[in-house]
Structure 1
């Protein structure tokens, strides 16, 4: 019997497999999709995410990011990361780097669709495979979270994200967040000749409909060729009543997600992966629930606060002017976002 089956071969699942292998666990990843998988995301790794991936031996190619810049019309304010650069990385590049690391670690990845599981006092059965524990890392709309009765409907306004790549030389070495009345656009350099532009909004419509709210971006991107396929995701807000159910642990977006506003998704997923692997090695899934709450507390608080503030039009329109007037506060917020999500109370990074 395996020690662990990981359902889902995205960054959260692959990071869990790497942490589990490092802990000496016999682990297999089950993923129904073949090859490198793309996904709608902002593609900006905060410095904490870069460090957490490096700790796992993963160093994906990309474009250095020095900080975050907010833009609203003629107003703009920037703050640099104090702990070193982040990195803009194509989602496909990140996924390929993690898959290579998992292969190098000798962890099997089986192309299997998972439609449910059964568990008892001794283990869990998934598609005829038996393990002591299962990690569900099957994404934002996790079927396993739903099947375990842990899904909790979100009651707030639902936000969605869309992303497109443009073949253009980056004009910034920061993640640029452009603010409009009902949407934000996140510009992330991911290569020397490529930028990703992701839009988050509560409105319906096409990508071009939403981009029309950002005339400066439209001018910047005029004539630039589109690269690849537009991607969308949402609703972004997903709630779970718990992160564990018996011998099953939810990692990454499957465990609940507030919003992509702060760009901490990968750092949090890697930190959760380390905590889950330790809980499995110790035979103590309840420890993972406690660690998850601690690891995600800052993210949940900051994201809820920023979402609440920017959902009100007067506060939203005042956000960038306020950051201009109080740059130290904006800088402190950016510094908080850049820090790694610590995986243990002693402050050691994931892994």
Structure 2
């Protein structure tokens, strides 16, 4: 006899979204997480327009700042595109997680303080963290312990990029996500409150956050008198691969299923969408592997191409090309924003 229908590993936004999705489908759910929430981690905190309807259908509508497009910039050029498909939102990760946790509690999700390390499964269920369930959704992030325990990690030897994020007390000066293309890193500026912006830097492991920010005159000026509003946090390496996204009764969801890079800033939207199709597959819908490939296809193709260009001699031409071909640039942004 199983204790619950679904066991979710990981209490971040994607794990909570998966738990809520399962409860809305009428399934009983236990969620395992060893850390007290809300859990703060390095991320861009920009929700693309396509993410908001996914959250709203879960009953969550977090407060934040409107994001109306994306601006690519370097020392001499800029390319702005305003979303045609809606408005995104800059939301502090801890705010989003708190609202998702409240919604999960309201729907009767059972929270378990523990870790999913030893996993046993058979034809009728899977056991982990002292709970037996019909299914396990592994939503435990970039460095998924479930993925590792099941032997599904695939080595990544090239393209190891990392991120650093910090918030600053300053009024947002734009309603676009600004992406500054420095020589060896990208810096993302996301407004998340009326008096706070988030600064996220993506680059090589030992890239100097302060030096990169100082090298961008607009940012150096905007942040000159701004006090830090959070501790600095890092993430990575981003490139992660899984041999497969399902093994028996275990489904890998979100970053746990593999990740290319944060360069397109749609990790949360992607993870929430994966949670949706994972639960649908448990209810007899289309196979998870096929649906996972479908909902992640644009992300994998476009992000891989952009990262390859960013790490090549073509890097310096990315912003000038976007400025010269605004329709092409806009089409790419819209494809990722939907």
**TM-score normalised by the shorter chain: which range applies?**
over 0.9
Cα distance between partner residues in 2 of 1:138 and 1:155: 22
The Cα shift of 1:105 comes to 1.0
1:73–1:216: 8 Å Cα contact kept in structure 2? no
- Alignment-derived partner of residue 89 in structure 2: 87
TM-score, normalised via structure 2 length:
0.97
Alignment of 1:126-145 (within 5 A): 126-145=128-147
1:39–1:231: 8 Å Cα contact kept in structure 2? yes
Cα distance between partner residues in 1 of 2:255 and 2:211: 27
1:12-57: per-residue Cα shift (whole Å, max 9, x none)?
Answer: 1111111111111111111111121111000000000111111111
The Cα shift of 1:205 comes to 4.1
Is 1:211–2:213 an aligned residue pair?
A: yes
Structure 2: tracts of 5 or more residues without a match: none
- Alignment-derived partner of residue 321 in structure 2: 322
Is 1:192–2:191 an aligned residue pair?
A: no
The Cα shift of 1:203 comes to 4.3
2:28 to 21, 26, 29: 26
1:127-177: per-residue Cα shift (whole Å, max 9, x none)?
Answer: 221111101111100011011011001122200000010000111100000
1:211-267: per-residue Cα shift (whole Å, max 9, x none)?
Answer: 233232112110100011111001010000100111100001000000011111111
The Cα shift of 1:120 comes to 1.3
TM-score, normalised via structure 1 length:
0.93
Cα distance between partner residues in 2 of 1:142 and 1:210: 30
- Alignment-derived partner of residue 273 in structure 2: 271
Structure 1: tracts of 5 or more residues without a match: 340-351
Alignment of 1:152-171 (within 5 A): 152-171=154-173
Structure 1 residues 241 and 321, CA gap change in structure 2 (3 angstroms): same
Structure 1 residues 203 and 132, CA gap change in structure 2 (3 angstroms): closer
1:280-321: per-residue Cα shift (whole Å, max 9, x none)?
Answer: 222x7x8111110111011100001111111113x1111111
The Cα shift of 1:110 comes to 1.6
Alignment of 1:300-319 (within 5 A): 300-313=300-313, 315-319=314-318
1:175-202: per-residue Cα shift (whole Å, max 9, x none)?
Answer: 0000011100000000111000000001
Q: Secondary structure at the match of 2:197?
A: strand
- Alignment-derived partner of residue 17 in structure 2: 15
The Cα shift of 1:334 comes to 1.1
- Alignment-derived partner of residue 342 in structure 1: none
Cα distance between partner residues in 1 of 2:249 and 2:118: 14
Alignment of 1:1-351 (within 5 A): 1=2, 2-282=4-284, 287-313=287-313, 315-339=314-338
Cα distance between partner residues in 2 of 1:75 and 1:34: 44
Cα distance between partner residues in 2 of 1:141 and 1:210: 27
Q: Secondary structure at the match of 1:13?
A: helix
Cα distance between partner residues in 1 of 2:290 and 2:39: 31
- Alignment-derived partner of residue 345 in structure 1: none
Cα distance between partner residues in 2 of 1:120 and 1:332: 46
Cα distance between partner residues in 2 of 1:99 and 1:29: 10
- My pick for the range that moved more, 112-121 or 72-81, is 112-121
The Cα shift of 1:107 comes to 1.1
1:7–1:13: 8 Å Cα contact kept in structure 2? yes
